[in-house]
Structure formats: C-alpha cells, structure tokens
Amino acid sequence: MTHIPDSSDKLAEEIDLHLDARNVLFLLGDSKAVAEHLQAAEPLAERLGDEQRLARVLNFLNSYYGLAGDPERAIEIGKRALKLGVIQADAASNTVTYYYLGAAYNKTGQYDLAIEVLTRGVKNISDDRRHERFGTAAVLSVICRSHLVQCLAATGRFTEGALFGEEGVRIGEEVEHPTSLIHMLCSVGMLHLLKGDCDQAIPILEKGLELCRSANIPVYVPVVASRLGSAYANAKRAAEALPHLEEGVESSAAAGRAAFGVEYRLARGGISVLGSHR
C-alpha cells in the first residue's frame, strides 16, 4: 500500500512528482504508466483540497482517456474540471481545460463544440504568452490551433483552417518545440489530405515523421505514420503506403492508444480515408 505523507507540503510534492512523471512518460508513449501516475495523483489532490493541482490532474486524465479511445469519459472529466473555481478564475488553467475538452469533442466528431471551446482557448492566450506550455507537454497556442485545423478541415472550412495552420507552424518554429510542431504538421497534412491534395500533404507529413524520429518523440509516430500512409495510398504509392500504415497500427497498439486499424484497412483497399483525429 502506498504511503501517503501527513504533511501538506509532502503531499503536494508527491502530486507534483506524479504530474512531472506524466509529462515525461507521455512523450515516451507509455500510456499505461501515465494512467497509473494520474490515478494515484487524483485522490491525493482531493485529499489535499488543492483545486489548482486537482485541475491539472483532471486535465491530464481528460487527455489520457481521449488518447486511450474513451473520449466520452474525457468529456465528462473536462466538464467536471470546468466546474472548479480555480478553472473559472484562472486563464492559464481554463485554457488547458478548453484545449483538452476541445480535443475530446474533436475525437467524437462534435466539431462545432470543439471549435467553440478551442477558439476560447486560443483567445485566452495573449501574444506575450504564445510560447508557454502552461504545465503541459505542448505549447498551448500551437496545440489549440492544431485541433482547430482538424475540426475546420473536417467541416470543409479549409481556408480558415489553413490560416490557423500557418500561425501554428510559425509559432512552433519560433519556440523550437518539436512536440508541438509535430502535432501541428500532422494536422496541416491532414487538412491537405482531406482536400484531396496529396502532393501537398506528403512532404508536410514526411517532415513530421522525421521530426518524431530525430527528436525521439514516439508518442506521435502512430498518428503521423498513419496519416502519411494514407496520403501515399491516395497518391497511388502503395509500396510506400503499407509500411507506414502498418507502423501506425503497431506503434499505436504498443503505446496503448486507440489504433488506426480502420485507416489501414481502407487505405490498403485503395479507398480515400478521413480517419479520426488524435
């Protein structure tokens, strides 16, 4: 049985260690360990009565369940987080909540709700804070725009989505943060794929996958490889498509994330794929 320190300071330190471990393990793609740390941190934050830390735990649980293939539970947790007083009062905290909740709405195809929530998140971030991560593993001004690109593309608003994509790529390059830039490149590549412009999508997704490898960020290999495989397949480059589609499925399963098996099957059959957004 895990020993829970009596001191409030020690309890707060233990929660922070769980959250710091989450950020490292998330980038390594170890979702099982991520879940263990978050599930251990939640009752500690509730016992401490620290809304700021509880908000961070709930936001990260929102992210975890979204990636694990349970976006409905992610939305439930996001709504719970929004009820916390600290979330309502603090721009940094509610920006993170808007991001994770918007991402969960995106995964369930509730694009209008996602666009509304993510737009709030973007508006909350002043220009002088556009490089900040707000305690997450990504630059919030980039990652919010990345999900906005996905949602706008899914609803056929390609021009608007492209503008958010350009801004997101620019900020990601400014701050030189590979995790954020990979996510952004993947979303922009997906926008071009949905438009049917594979020639535009392929080099962007190739750059994203190369960055995954060079920066050693395996967590995004499943989604980038799957998108790139889909782009190759739609460009009638089957020999290049299959290894990437297979890598996407294998990496996704190994990391405990919802796999991209549907994309693999459709692309292998030569059918245009839209897929789900991660």
Residue 106, pLDDT score: 92
Residue 275, pLDDT score: 39
**Residue 259 tokens, joined:** 């796999």
Give Cβ neighbours of residue 7 (< 8 Å, ≥ 6 apart): none
Q: What backbone torsions phi and psi does residue 235 show, to the nearest 5 degrees? A: -90, 10
146-181 pLDDT, tens per residue? Answer: 999 999 999 999 999 999 999 999 999 999 999 999
Residue 117 sits in the same domain as residue 154? yes
Residue 54, pLDDT score: 93
Give Cβ neighbours of residue 133 (< 8 Å, ≥ 6 apart): 139, 140, 177
Q: Where is 161: in which H helix or E strand?
A: helix 158-175
What is the helix, strand, coil percentage profile of the chain, to 5? 80, 0, 20
What proportion of the chain, given as a percentage, has pLDDT over 90? 60
Give Cβ neighbours of residue 16 (< 8 Å, ≥ 6 apart): 53
Pick from 22-36, 84-98, 146-160, 261-275: least confident: 261-275
247 lies in which domain range?
Answer: 205-273
In a domain, 8, yes or no: no
Which region, left, alpha or beta, applies to residue 114 given φ > 0 means left and ψ of -120 to 50 means alpha? alpha
Whether the predicted pLDDT of 261 surpasses 60: no
- C-alpha dist (Å) from residue 128 to 92, 96, 254: 13, 17, 39
Residue 219 sits in the same domain as residue 128? no
Q: What backbone torsions phi and psi does residue 71 show, to the nearest 5 degrees? A: -65, -25
**What average pLDDT does the structure give for the chain?**
85
**Reported confidence tier of residue 135, pLDDT bands at 50, 70, 90:** confident
In a domain, 122, yes or no: yes
Whether the predicted pLDDT of 214 surpasses 90: yes
Residue 196 sits in the same domain as residue 229? no
**Reported confidence tier of residue 272, pLDDT bands at 50, 70, 90:** very low
Residue 124 sits in the same domain as residue 141? yes
Number of independent structural domains in the chain: 2
Q: How far apart are CA 175 and CA 197, in angstroms?
A: 29
End residue of a domain, out of 153, 175, 204: 204
In a domain, 10, yes or no: no
Residue 273, pLDDT score: 40
CATH of the domain at 35: 1.25.40.10
**Reported confidence tier of residue 278, pLDDT bands at 50, 70, 90:** very low
Pick from 74-88, 137-151, 162-176, 263-277: least confident: 263-277
End residue of a domain, out of 188, 204, 220: 204
Do residues 47 and 11 make contact, with C-beta atoms less than 8 angstroms apart? yes
Pick from 66-70, 163-167, 183-187, 198-202: least confident: 66-70
Whether the predicted pLDDT of 26 surpasses 90: no
Do residues 207 and 230 make contact, with C-beta atoms less than 8 angstroms apart? no
**Reported confidence tier of residue 276, pLDDT bands at 50, 70, 90:** very low
Q: Where is 146: in which H helix or E strand?
A: helix 140-154
Whether the predicted pLDDT of 5 surpasses 60: no
Choose among 74, 70, 37, 72: nearest CA to 58: 74
Residue 45, pLDDT score: 94
Q: Which residue has the higher pLDDT, 91 or 203?
A: 203
Say how many CA atoms lie within 13 Å of 94 toward its Cβ.
16
110-130 pLDDT, tens per residue? Answer: 999 999 999 999 999 989 999
In a domain, 11, yes or no: no
Choose among 22, 19, 24: nearest CA to 48: 19
